[in-house]
Amino acid sequence: MVLDNPRKPLLLRDVPKPKPGRGQLLVRVATCAVCRTDLHVVDGELPDPKLPLILGHQIVGRVQEIGEETDSKFQIGDRVGIPWLGWTDGDCAYCRSGRENLCDNARFTGYTINGGYAEFTVVDARFCFPLPKRYNDVEVAPLLCAGLIGYRSYRKTGDARRLGIYGFGNAAHLIAQVALYEGRDLFVFTRPGDTKTQQNAKTLGAKWTGGSDEMPPEKLDAAIIFASVGPLVPRALRALAKGGIVVCGGIHMSDIPSFPYADLWEERVITSVANLPRRDADEFLELAPRVPVKAHTETFPLQQANIALDRFRAGKLSGTAVLVMDAN
């Protein structure tokens, strides 16, 4: 499935089987979960995507070929996971200081390099991960972005006991399971009036649920905003205790309106999450089966990628959409 022009549907097109180069793996794709970032690319909200482009960055597949001079821990036939961060230069100030997620020259799967809405993909061997055996190909795909970016957002909250989550979509649902496993008190904020989602959060174990226009019954030590809604930032600030932190967990967010300095005072903090280093992926994929983190999924054959994206945009999915390359 090829994107030729943002704001237009994907095109179903035969794509030649690629060849891996030095340091690369050819991976036969089994599944690829659909992410809100895919919608941001298709809708033209992320600038300058590679065109033509194959979307998809929550990829599960098996190694088919290994490029020449590739020093890899993987062998042909191994199952691998392929996430958003697809390449870094390893030499810039950020890479050399352990912050490869901020690399000046980074490349991103399904955005600036081809992704997994396809039968095959070529990837840098350094940016693939072994996957927990507990999960099948459909179950594990959503962990590779919603799970990973959720985990990085969560780790930025430190040891916060009272944790608020704004927007209870895929990433929030996954990381809420980790927070509850680690004994945090969970406060979930949804669209005002979305009682179904609020009840789902309560069933999962949330201490309190309510609309994003409400204040929680206790001050929060930290809040994660997964919804791409800028006005939620000052609302979350007002819900924080002294020294609390607001973590913006999305790659794209609408503009944040102005707010009184008093809402930020007393050492409250606003921070964002950009991509994630490989060490975070290693930690999360080791932790997930112990919780165990479970994703709700809805599968589509690759040929129905546009349908999956349209249903995602309209809020009509029953779980994370996962494209399955072999419909049989």
What's the pLDDT at 16? 87
Confidence of residue 15 (pLDDT cuts 50, 70, 90): confident
Looking up tokens 């669209």, which residue turns up?
A: 191
pTM recorded for the entire structure: 0.90
Helix axes 146-155, 170-181, angle to 10 degrees: 50
Residue 328, pLDDT above cutoff 60: no
What's the pLDDT at 223? 98
Tens digit of each residue's pLDDT (9 = 90 or more) over 276-302? 899 999 999 999 999 999 999 999 999
Q: What is the mean pLDDT of residues 84-107?
A: 95
Residue 314, pLDDT above cutoff 80: yes
Q: What does the longest C-alpha to C-alpha distance in the chain come to?
A: 59
Count of Cβ atoms closer than 10 Å to residue 144 Cβ: 28
Tokens of 109: 């799967």
Distance CA 233, CA 83 (A): 27
Burial environment of residue 259 by CB neighbours within 10 A (0 to 12, 13 to 18, 19 or more): middle
Tens digit of each residue's pLDDT (9 = 90 or more) over 113-133? 999 999 999 999 999 999 999
Residue 185, pLDDT above cutoff 80: yes
Q: How far is CA 314 from CA 166, 172, 238, 296, 317, in A?
A: 19, 19, 30, 18, 8
3-state secondary structure of 279: helix
Query: 145 with 139: CB under 8 angstroms?
Result: no
What's the pLDDT at 20? 93
Q: DSSP 3-state helix, strand, coil percentages of the chain (rounded to 5)?
A: 30, 25, 45
- Please state whether the peptide bond connecting residue 49 to the residue before it is cis, i.e. omega within 30 degrees of 0: no
Question: How do strand 107-108 and strand 120-124 relate by DSSP bridges?
Answer: unpaired
Proportion of the chain above pLDDT 90, given as a percent: 88
Proportion of the chain above pLDDT 70, given as a percent: 99
Q: What is the mean pLDDT of residues 293-320?
A: 94
Question: How do strand 24-33 and strand 120-124 relate by DSSP bridges?
Answer: antiparallel
Confidence of residue 71 (pLDDT cuts 50, 70, 90): confident
Residues 180-209 as b/e (b if ≥16 CB within 10 A, e otherwise) read beeebbbbbbbeeebeebbebbeeeebbbb
Beta strands in 23-135 (DSSP E): 24-33, 59-66, 79-82, 85-87, 107-108, 120-124, 129-130
Confidence of residue 275 (pLDDT cuts 50, 70, 90): confident
Residue 255, pLDDT above cutoff 80: yes
Helix and strand numbers, DSSP H then E, in the chain: 10, 15
Distance CA 116, CA 18 (A): 13
Structure letter (DSSP) for residue 292: T
What's the pLDDT at 315? 86
What's the pLDDT at 327? 57
Q: How far is CA 16 from CA 13, 26, 76, 118, 323, in A?
A: 10, 13, 20, 10, 20
DSSP bridge partners of 220:
240
Residue 90, pLDDT above cutoff 90: yes
Q: What is the mean pLDDT of residues 101-123?
A: 96
Tens digit of each residue's pLDDT (9 = 90 or more) over 217-254? 999 999 999 998 999 999 999 999 999 999 999 878 89
Average pLDDT, the chain: 94
What's the pLDDT at 251? 77
**Residue 263 exposure: Cα atoms within 13 Å on the Cβ side:** 13
